[in-house]
Amino acid sequence: MYDKNKIIPGLIIFVGIVAFPFFYNLVTADYKPEPSLDTPVINKMSKKQCVRPKDFMKTEHMKVLHEWRDSVVRYGEREYGVIDGVKYEKSLQKTCMQCHSNKKDFCDRCHTYVDVKPYCWNCHIAPEGKEE
């Protein structure tokens, strides 16, 4: 290869500049979206728990909601089950938002961070001004 001494350092510098933002953010990014659990209903709970374990809900809540949606709309199966003596209905508005009544500080924090725009709230009504 001709001009090996120039081309290889040049390539390294080029890749370094292009990849700089990724490395920079790897080192410096410390912002984590922290969904707030500070709602009246959750504060009253003696044992803080969701319909499924926290880690599962963190990664799979959209799949849970999709399953709920399909089984409710298509088959009319509205009951999710009983956990610790409490009956849960498969409903975003009536179950999820009953505890997580702080959409802005719970749903939106992560959704804004990862820039996803779920269309739930185009039709379903967020509990704004209902609680607190």
Partner 1 sequence: MDRRTFLKIGAGVVATTAMGPLPQLVSCLQAKETKACAKNKWGMVIDVAKCVEGCTVCMDACRKENNVSAGNYWIRLATIKPKVPNAKSQPIPLLCNQCDDPFCVKVCLVKASFKRQDGIVLIDEHRCIGCRYCMIVCPYKSRSFVFKHYEEITNPDSPKRQHGVVEKCDFCVSRIDKGLMPACVEACPNKAMSFGNLNDPNSEVAKLVATGKAQRIRPDLGSKPKVYYLGL
Site for partner 1 contains 41 (CB under 8 A): no
Size of residue set near partner 1 by CB under 8 A:
16
Site track for partner 1 across 67-106, x = CB under 8 A: --x---xxxxxxx-------------xx------------
Question: Per rule CB under 8 A, is residue 117 in the interface with partner 1?
Answer: no
> Does position 119 bind partner 1 by CB under 8 A?
yes
Number of H helices, E strands in the chain: 6, 2
Residues 6+ apart with CB under 8 A from 113: 31, 33
**Beta-ladder partners of 86:** 83
Give the range of 2-10, 29-37, 100-108, 121-129 binding partner 1 by CB under 8 A.
Answer: 121-129
66 Cβ neighbours under 8 A, 6+ residues apart:
none
Note whether 123 binds partner 1 by CB under 8 A. yes
Q: Which residues pair with 89 in a beta bridge?
A: 79
**Of 73, 104, 109, nearest in space to 91 by CA:** 73
- For residues 34 and 70, which CB has a smaller minimum distance to partner 1 in the complex? 70
Residues forming contacts to partner 1 in the complex (CB under 8 A) are 69, 73-79, 93-94, 119, 122-125, 130
